[in-house]
Protein backbone atom coordinates (compact mmCIF):
# COMPACT_ATOMS: atom_id res chain seq x y z
CA UNK A 1 0.00 0.00 0.00
CA UNK A 2 1.41 3.37 -1.03
CA UNK A 3 1.78 6.03 1.63
CA UNK A 4 -0.50 9.06 1.46
CA UNK A 5 1.24 12.38 0.89
CA UNK A 6 0.83 15.71 2.70
CA UNK A 7 1.71 18.65 0.47
CA UNK A 8 1.92 22.32 1.49
CA UNK A 9 1.22 24.83 -1.28
CA UNK A 10 2.78 28.23 -1.92
CA UNK A 11 0.36 30.45 -3.85
CA UNK A 12 2.62 33.21 -5.17
CA UNK A 13 1.68 36.76 -6.12
CA UNK A 14 4.31 39.44 -6.76
CA UNK A 15 6.98 37.20 -5.24
CA UNK A 16 5.18 36.63 -1.93
CA UNK A 17 3.16 33.75 -0.52
CA UNK A 18 -0.53 34.71 -0.37
CA UNK A 19 -3.78 33.00 0.66
CA UNK A 20 -7.43 33.88 0.20
CA UNK A 21 -10.88 32.32 0.39
CA UNK A 22 -12.46 30.87 -2.77
CA UNK A 23 -9.61 32.48 -4.76
CA UNK A 24 -10.51 35.99 -3.45
CA UNK A 25 -9.30 38.37 -0.71
CA UNK A 26 -5.63 37.41 -0.90
CA UNK A 27 -3.50 38.12 2.18
CA UNK A 28 0.26 38.01 2.60
CA UNK A 29 1.59 34.81 4.20
CA UNK A 30 5.35 35.30 4.05
CA UNK A 31 8.57 34.92 2.11
CA UNK A 32 8.43 31.83 -0.14
CA UNK A 33 12.02 30.75 0.48
CA UNK A 34 11.64 30.88 4.26
CA UNK A 35 8.25 29.18 4.13
CA UNK A 36 9.61 26.48 1.84
CA UNK A 37 12.51 25.80 4.20
CA UNK A 38 10.11 25.46 7.13
CA UNK A 39 8.09 22.79 5.30
CA UNK A 40 11.26 20.97 4.40
CA UNK A 41 12.15 20.77 8.09
CA UNK A 42 8.65 19.50 8.88
CA UNK A 43 9.18 16.57 6.48
CA UNK A 44 6.51 17.55 3.98
CA UNK A 45 6.29 14.98 1.19
CA UNK A 46 6.33 17.58 -1.57
CA UNK A 47 6.03 21.31 -2.11
CA UNK A 48 3.79 22.97 -4.70
CA UNK A 49 4.54 26.49 -6.01
CA UNK A 50 1.74 28.16 -8.00
CA UNK A 51 2.29 31.59 -9.54
CA UNK A 52 -1.43 32.34 -9.42
CA UNK A 53 -1.50 35.50 -11.55
CA UNK A 54 0.98 34.52 -14.27
CA UNK A 55 -1.57 33.10 -16.76
CA UNK A 56 -4.05 35.93 -16.20
CA UNK A 57 -1.27 38.51 -16.63
CA UNK A 58 0.03 36.60 -19.69
CA UNK A 59 3.57 36.32 -18.32
CA UNK A 60 5.92 33.51 -17.42
CA UNK A 61 6.40 32.26 -13.89
CA UNK A 62 9.15 33.66 -11.67
CA UNK A 63 12.13 31.51 -12.70
CA UNK A 64 14.66 33.18 -10.39
CA UNK A 65 12.40 32.59 -7.39
CA UNK A 66 11.86 28.96 -8.42
CA UNK A 67 15.65 28.47 -8.57
CA UNK A 68 16.12 30.03 -5.15
CA UNK A 69 13.48 27.83 -3.51
CA UNK A 70 14.76 24.69 -5.24
CA UNK A 71 18.25 25.29 -3.83
CA UNK A 72 16.86 25.53 -0.30
CA UNK A 73 14.66 22.44 -0.13
CA UNK A 74 15.25 18.69 -0.40
CA UNK A 75 11.82 17.32 -1.36
CA UNK A 76 9.96 16.96 -4.67
CA UNK A 77 9.02 20.37 -6.01
CA UNK A 78 6.09 21.10 -8.36
CA UNK A 79 5.82 24.47 -10.10
CA UNK A 80 2.90 25.97 -12.02
CA UNK A 81 1.72 29.26 -13.45
CA UNK A 82 2.20 30.93 -16.82
CA UNK A 83 3.34 27.79 -18.64
CA UNK A 84 2.56 28.11 -22.34
CA UNK A 85 4.70 25.52 -24.05
CA UNK A 86 7.52 22.98 -24.05
CA UNK A 87 10.23 25.64 -23.58
CA UNK A 88 8.58 26.94 -20.41
CA UNK A 89 8.40 23.41 -19.02
CA UNK A 90 12.04 22.76 -19.86
CA UNK A 91 13.09 26.07 -18.25
CA UNK A 92 11.27 25.22 -15.00
CA UNK A 93 12.71 21.71 -14.85
CA UNK A 94 16.17 23.17 -15.46
CA UNK A 95 15.52 25.69 -12.68
CA UNK A 96 15.01 22.88 -10.17
CA UNK A 97 11.37 21.83 -10.46
CA UNK A 98 10.74 18.08 -10.38
CA UNK A 99 7.26 18.43 -11.87
CA UNK A 100 5.28 21.15 -13.62
CA UNK A 101 1.61 21.92 -13.12
CA UNK A 102 -0.37 23.12 -16.14
CA UNK A 103 -3.93 24.38 -16.09
CA UNK A 104 -4.87 27.21 -18.48
CA UNK A 105 -2.61 26.07 -21.32
CA UNK A 106 -3.71 22.46 -20.92
CA UNK A 107 -7.33 23.49 -21.42
CA UNK A 108 -6.54 25.77 -24.36
CA UNK A 109 -4.06 23.38 -26.01
CA UNK A 110 -4.76 19.83 -24.77
CA UNK A 111 -2.05 18.46 -27.05
CA UNK A 112 0.49 20.13 -24.74
CA UNK A 113 -0.24 17.38 -22.21
CA UNK A 114 0.64 14.66 -24.72
CA UNK A 115 3.68 16.51 -26.09
CA UNK A 116 5.15 17.34 -22.69
CA UNK A 117 4.57 13.89 -21.18
CA UNK A 118 6.12 12.35 -24.28
CA UNK A 119 9.18 14.59 -24.05
CA UNK A 120 9.78 14.74 -20.28
CA UNK A 121 7.86 11.71 -18.98
CA UNK A 122 4.34 11.63 -17.57
CA UNK A 123 5.74 11.66 -14.01
CA UNK A 124 6.74 15.31 -14.61
CA UNK A 125 3.35 16.51 -15.84
CA UNK A 126 0.61 17.48 -13.40
CA UNK A 127 -2.68 18.79 -14.76
CA UNK A 128 -4.26 21.24 -12.32
CA UNK A 129 -8.05 21.41 -12.36
CA UNK A 130 -9.83 24.29 -10.62
CA UNK A 131 -13.46 23.16 -10.36
CA UNK A 132 -16.63 24.87 -9.19
CA UNK A 133 -20.03 23.27 -8.75
CA UNK A 134 -22.72 24.28 -11.25
CA UNK A 135 -25.43 25.48 -8.88
CA UNK A 136 -27.03 22.54 -7.08
CA UNK A 137 -26.20 20.06 -9.81
CA UNK A 138 -23.93 17.04 -9.49
CA UNK A 139 -21.50 18.54 -12.00
CA UNK A 140 -18.50 20.80 -11.63
CA UNK A 141 -17.17 23.27 -14.19
CA UNK A 142 -13.47 23.85 -14.93
CA UNK A 143 -12.11 27.39 -14.50
CA UNK A 144 -8.84 28.80 -15.86
CA UNK A 145 -6.74 31.98 -15.46
CA UNK A 146 -6.44 31.56 -11.70
CA UNK A 147 -10.14 30.84 -11.25
CA UNK A 148 -11.27 33.90 -13.19
CA UNK A 149 -12.56 32.34 -16.40
CA UNK A 150 -15.25 29.64 -16.73
CA UNK A 151 -14.64 27.19 -19.57
CA UNK A 152 -17.87 25.22 -19.84
CA UNK A 153 -15.80 22.03 -19.45
CA UNK A 154 -17.12 19.31 -17.15
CA UNK A 155 -14.44 18.61 -14.51
CA UNK A 156 -14.88 14.83 -14.51
CA UNK A 157 -14.75 14.60 -18.28
CA UNK A 158 -11.67 16.85 -18.38
CA UNK A 159 -9.88 14.80 -15.70
CA UNK A 160 -10.42 11.62 -17.72
CA UNK A 161 -9.26 13.31 -20.91
CA UNK A 162 -6.15 14.69 -19.18
CA UNK A 163 -5.24 11.21 -17.97
CA UNK A 164 -5.80 9.78 -21.45
CA UNK A 165 -3.51 12.42 -22.97
CA UNK A 166 -0.66 11.48 -20.64
CA UNK A 167 -0.91 13.49 -17.41
CA UNK A 168 0.89 11.71 -14.58
CA UNK A 169 -1.15 13.31 -11.81
CA UNK A 170 -4.13 15.62 -11.23
CA UNK A 171 -4.10 18.51 -8.78
CA UNK A 172 -7.81 18.95 -8.05
CA UNK A 173 -8.86 22.17 -6.33
CA UNK A 174 -12.43 22.77 -5.21
CA UNK A 175 -13.06 26.47 -5.68
CA UNK A 176 -16.16 26.17 -3.48
CA UNK A 177 -14.09 24.91 -0.55
CA UNK A 178 -10.82 26.82 -1.12
CA UNK A 179 -9.70 28.66 2.02
CA UNK A 180 -12.97 27.96 3.88
CA UNK A 181 -11.42 25.47 6.36
CA UNK A 182 -14.73 23.55 6.24
CA UNK A 183 -13.13 20.40 4.85
CA UNK A 184 -12.26 19.07 1.42
CA UNK A 185 -14.92 18.54 -1.22
CA UNK A 186 -15.38 14.83 -0.62
CA UNK A 187 -18.00 14.35 -3.31
CA UNK A 188 -15.94 15.95 -6.07
CA UNK A 189 -12.71 14.25 -5.00
CA UNK A 190 -14.33 10.83 -4.68
CA UNK A 191 -15.92 11.09 -8.11
CA UNK A 192 -12.71 12.04 -9.90
CA UNK A 193 -10.22 9.94 -7.93
CA UNK A 194 -12.29 6.81 -8.54
CA UNK A 195 -12.67 7.47 -12.26
CA UNK A 196 -9.03 8.07 -13.22
CA UNK A 197 -6.13 5.67 -12.86
CA UNK A 198 -3.53 8.32 -11.99
CA UNK A 199 -2.90 9.91 -8.57
CA UNK A 200 -5.21 12.74 -7.51
CA UNK A 201 -4.10 15.48 -5.10
CA UNK A 202 -7.08 16.90 -3.18
CA UNK A 203 -6.96 20.65 -2.56
CA UNK A 204 -9.24 23.23 -1.00
CA UNK A 205 -10.83 23.36 2.44
CA UNK A 206 -8.46 21.77 4.98
CA UNK A 207 -9.12 23.31 8.38
CA UNK A 208 -8.59 20.64 11.03
CA UNK A 209 -7.06 17.23 11.52
CA UNK A 210 -10.19 15.21 10.79
CA UNK A 211 -10.42 16.75 7.32
CA UNK A 212 -7.19 14.96 6.36
CA UNK A 213 -8.52 11.69 7.76
CA UNK A 214 -11.79 12.06 5.86
CA UNK A 215 -10.19 12.77 2.48
CA UNK A 216 -8.18 9.55 2.71
CA UNK A 217 -10.83 7.36 4.34
CA UNK A 218 -13.72 8.46 2.09
CA UNK A 219 -12.04 9.01 -1.29
CA UNK A 220 -9.25 7.47 -3.36
CA UNK A 221 -7.10 10.62 -3.20
CA UNK A 222 -3.37 9.91 -3.12
CA UNK A 223 -2.39 13.19 -1.47
CA UNK A 224 -3.84 16.13 0.42
CA UNK A 225 -2.67 19.67 -0.27
CA UNK A 226 -3.16 22.50 2.21
CA UNK A 227 -2.00 26.07 2.58
CA UNK A 228 -3.47 28.44 5.16
CA UNK A 229 -3.54 26.02 8.12
CA UNK A 230 0.17 25.42 7.58
CA UNK A 231 1.13 29.00 6.68
CA UNK A 232 -0.55 30.42 9.79
CA UNK A 233 0.78 27.59 12.01
CA UNK A 234 -2.58 26.19 13.07
CA UNK A 235 -1.11 22.76 12.32
CA UNK A 236 2.26 21.43 11.24
CA UNK A 237 2.87 18.76 8.66
CA UNK A 238 4.31 16.53 11.41
CA UNK A 239 1.14 16.88 13.51
CA UNK A 240 -1.03 15.91 10.54
CA UNK A 241 1.11 12.87 9.79
CA UNK A 242 1.15 11.67 13.39
CA UNK A 243 -2.64 12.00 13.53
CA UNK A 244 -3.11 10.08 10.27
CA UNK A 245 -0.72 7.35 11.40
CA UNK A 246 -2.67 6.99 14.65
CA UNK A 247 -5.85 6.64 12.57
CA UNK A 248 -4.53 3.79 10.49
CA UNK A 249 -3.56 5.80 7.42
CA UNK A 250 -0.12 4.99 6.09
CA UNK A 251 2.16 8.05 5.78
CA UNK A 252 5.89 8.67 5.62
CA UNK A 253 6.99 9.54 9.17
Give the active site residues: 11, 130
Alpha carbon distances (Å) from 175 to 68, 118, 130, 140, 186:
29, 30, 6, 10, 13
Secondary structure class of 15 (helix, strand, coil): coil
Taking the alpha carbons of 30, 42, 212, 124 in that order, is the dihedral positive or negative? Answer: positive
- The answer for residues whose C-beta is within 8 angstroms of residue 86's C-beta and 6 or more apart is 112, 115, 116, 119
The rounded distance, in Å, linking the Cα atoms of 126 and 123 is 8
Beta bridge partners of 224: 6, 202
Amino acid sequence: MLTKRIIPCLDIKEGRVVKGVKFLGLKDAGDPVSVGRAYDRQMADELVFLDITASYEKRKTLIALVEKIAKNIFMPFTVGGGIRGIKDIRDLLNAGADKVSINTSAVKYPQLIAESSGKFGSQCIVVAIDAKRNGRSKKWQVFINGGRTPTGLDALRWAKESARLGAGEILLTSMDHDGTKDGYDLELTKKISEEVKIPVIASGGAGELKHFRDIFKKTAASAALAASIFHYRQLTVREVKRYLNNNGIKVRL
